[in-house]
């Protein structure tokens, strides 16, 4: 079973493609995470966990989803992590997580996708986005072949910088950067509640028709990228930036 978490669509896209290639089903962890209900799942096929990369590791919300859940049947676990520039040494922490869950760690695949973390970075030009999205397919096809053959995915060498990013830098990044105080809704807000609907942590509510954030943000960027009127900003950092609305938008003829 392919189990995924996705804020802006990159990991959902890869998970669904991989499920098709494997002839398997895909499951969105969103509703488990949002409701706080532990997953109780069973699969006769290997577990494939697909998620974006947050500070060079699995997102904490997805890690905690795996920690709290029950994954019976197959004892094998593969990981696929989408990223804008690299996953550091996330493979090490993925292997450790498998040890906690009595799962057999079978490797981590890094898949470069368009940058979507507009709190800090810009979305790449359209052609670069298309190139990355199209380049993901052969990687996933190769991974599917490996998984179907019962073989291990080869972890990429991370080097010293990768070890630092996934190691001591990760908790500092969460402590210093991953906050919601800079989010705000401007005059274009129509009070539609889309941001409330897409937040995986129920961290957003409408107050007098405007969204307010409650301090439990994971910086998934779902609210700011899926706002239909582009009313939400992250301080001055996001002003004027293109909103990333998922891979499918770049694969349309006029995308």
Residues 45 and 78: beta-carbon distance below 8 Å: no
- pLDDT at position 251 is 75
Pairing of the two strands 232-234 and 183-185: antiparallel
CA 47 to mean position of chain CA atoms: 17
**Is the whole-model pTM more than 0.85?**
yes
Long-range Cβ contact pairs of 135-142 (< 8 A, separation 24 or more): 136/13, 136/14, 136/17, 136/111, 136/112, 137/17, 139/109, 139/111, 140/14, 140/17, 140/18, 140/21, 140/80, 140/109, 140/111, 141/21
- pLDDT at position 80 is 98
- pLDDT at position 253 is 58
10-residue mean pLDDT profile of the chain (255 residues): values are 97 98 98 97 98 98 98 98 96 98 98 95 94 96 98 91 94 96 96 98 96 97 97 96 90 62
Pairing of the two strands 183-185 and 76-83: unpaired
């Amino acid at each position: 079973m392919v189990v995924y978490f996705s804020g802006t669509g990159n990991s959902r896209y890869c998970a669904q493609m991989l499920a098709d290639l494997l002839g398997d089903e895909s499951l969105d962890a969103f509703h488990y995470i949002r409701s706080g209900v532990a997953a109780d799942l069973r699969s006769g096929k290997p577990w494939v966990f697909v998620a974006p990369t947050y500070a060079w590791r699995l997102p904490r919300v997805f890690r905690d989803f795996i920690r709290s859940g029950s994954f019976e049947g197959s004892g094998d676990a593969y990981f696929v992590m989408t990223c804008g520039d690299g996953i550091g040494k996330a493979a090490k922490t993925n292997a450790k997580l498998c040890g906690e869950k009595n799962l057999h760690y079978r490797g981590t695949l890094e898949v470069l996708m368009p940058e979507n973390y507009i709190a800090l970075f810009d979305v790449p030009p359209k052609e670069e986005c298309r190139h990355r999205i199209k380049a993901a397919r052969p990687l996933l096809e190769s991974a599917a072949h490996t998984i179907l053959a019962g073989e291990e995915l080869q972890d990429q060498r991370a080097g010293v910088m990768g070890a630092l990013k996934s190691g001591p830098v990760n908790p500092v990044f969460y402590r210093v950067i991953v906050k919601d105080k800079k989010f705000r809704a401007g005059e274009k807000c129509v009070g539609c509640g889309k941001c409330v609907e897409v937040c995986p942590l129920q961290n957003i509510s409408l107050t007098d028709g405007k969204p307010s954030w409650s301090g439990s943000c994971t910086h998934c960027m779902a609210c700011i990228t899926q706002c239909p009127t582009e009313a939400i900003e992250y301080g001055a950092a996001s002003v004027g930036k293109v909103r990333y609305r998922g891979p499918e938008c770049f694969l349309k003829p006029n995308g």
